[in-house]
Structure 1
Amino acid sequence: MGGCPKLLSPLTRWYIYAIHGYFCEVMFTATWAFVEERDWRFRGVTSIWALFIYGMAGLVQEQLYLWLRGHCHLLGRGVCYTLWIYLWEFSTGYLLRHFDACPWDYSHFHYHLMGLVTLEYALFWFVGSLLLETLVIRNTLRLRLEGLGPSPPRQLTHGHL
């Protein structure tokens, strides 16, 4: 083999978190439309910006997990993650709004801030962040790549490889 297994690169982990977030958003919006409007087409929507937003959010949450795991219980980490998500969602939405590119608007919710975040989603973000930690981040951090150098020559045994 080409050496000891290595942790996935930050770019690879970013990609995993980005695709996971993108998929979850499409499923969430499809489910929301079904519940509210009985839309049996089950069409979810998102934005290309979501890849960047979820990828970066996942990398930061990964680092929060590594930093907090020995000092804070699961529910405490969930609160920290939720606060991070609100900060990130507000910041990225604020920036995108300046380019008329913000894909979400929570102005129709009762407890929103500038239409960029809403407290009505707090439970979803809290549960989602804990699922991200326990199902995605922990498993992504366990993944390893074998060395990509040249493989040793294969030996013939009884005339077969």
Structure 2
Amino acid sequence: MPTKAKESGAVSRPLPAWLRFYLYGMHGLLDEIVFTALFDFFFEPEGNAMLKGYSTLFSFLIYGSCSFVVERVYVYLYLRHGVQWYIRWPLYLCILYTWEFTFGLVLRQFDACSWDYSHYPLNVMGLITLVYAPAWLVLVVYQDVLAHFLLSLKVTTDVHMEGLLHKVD
């Protein structure tokens, strides 16, 4: 809901949903590139000395939409009802795995799924693996921090706009 500063004539609004979605998507792309570079460096037999990470543009949509949904869950559970972290975080993890599995299943139908976890233990159809659960848990914790931050940001506009509105005679 917009708020108006009496003296300055400025109106403050929350950061728009489309912009939060965009930031979540871009953050997800960055996270995935860094994660894949570091994971391969530490855990793949041949290593990754160049620290090359990789992702796909579909990840922008996947991370953006999943993080946006989890943000809405955060608002509902924590901000409105005060549900504690030890209930929210496992729920976020379930949402995340369901999201990854569902998107992977759809993308696989079009031969567009960029990941295959079949070679990892504890995988489901090669689309998700519990091997990544510790890393996902770190991101789930960070999701609360990021959502809280983005929801606290305000966009302020000057309602007078004196510099832009001039009468032309």
TM-score between both structures, scaled by the size of structure 1: 0.88
* Letter paired with 1:143: L
Cα deviation digits, residues 84-114 of structure 1 (max 9, x gap): 0011000000000000000110101111111
Corresponding residue of 1:11: 18
Q: Distance in 1 between matches of 2:159 and 2:113?
A: 44
Match of 1:68 in 2: 77
Distance 1:108 1:133 in 2: 31
Cα deviation, residue 124, structure 1: 1.6
What amino acid is aligned across from residue 147 of structure 1 in structure 2?
T
Identity %: 33
* Residue of structure 2 aligned with 1:79, choices 90, 113, 116: 90
Q: Does residue 58 of structure 1 match 2:67?
A: yes
What SS class does the counterpart of residue 4 from structure 1 fall into?
strand
Task: Report the Cα offset of residue 73 of structure 1.
Answer: 1.2
Alignment root-mean-square deviation, CA: 1.5
Matched, 1:151 2:161: yes
Alpha-carbon distance in 2 for matches of 1:2, 1:26: 43
Is 1:78–1:127's contact at 8 Å kept on the other side of the alignment?
no
Aligned length: 152
Structure 2 unaligned residues grouped into runs of 5+ = 1-7, 164-169
Q: Residue 29 of structure 2 contacts residue 63 of structure 2 at CA under 8 Å; is this kept in 1?
A: yes
Select which of 85, 106, 127 maps to 2:117.
106
Alignment of 1:11-50 (within 5 A): 11-36=18-43, 37-50=46-59
Q: Which has the higher contact order (CA 8 A, sep 6+)?
A: 1
- Following the alignment from structure 1 to structure 2, what is the Cα–Cα distance between the partners of residues 47 and 25? 9
* Alignment partners' CA distance in 2, 1:25 and 1:149: 40
The residue aligned with 1:157 is: none
Letter paired with 1:17: Y
Q: Which structure: greater strand fraction? A: 2
Q: Tell me which amino acid in the other structure corresponds to 2:95.
A: W
Q: Is the 8 A contact 1:2 1:146 kept in 2?
A: no
TM-score, with normalisation over the residues of structure 2?
Answer: 0.84
Please tell me whether the aligned partners of residues 105 and 116 of structure 1 are also in contact (alpha carbons under 8 angstroms): yes
CA distance in structure 1 between the aligned counterparts of 2:47 and 2:115, rounded to whole angstroms: 21
8 Å Cα contact 2:11-2:158 kept in structure 1: no
Q: How does 1:134-145 map to 2 (within 5 A)?
A: 134=145, 136-145=146-155
User: Which residues of structure 1 form unaligned runs of 5+?
Assistant: 154-161
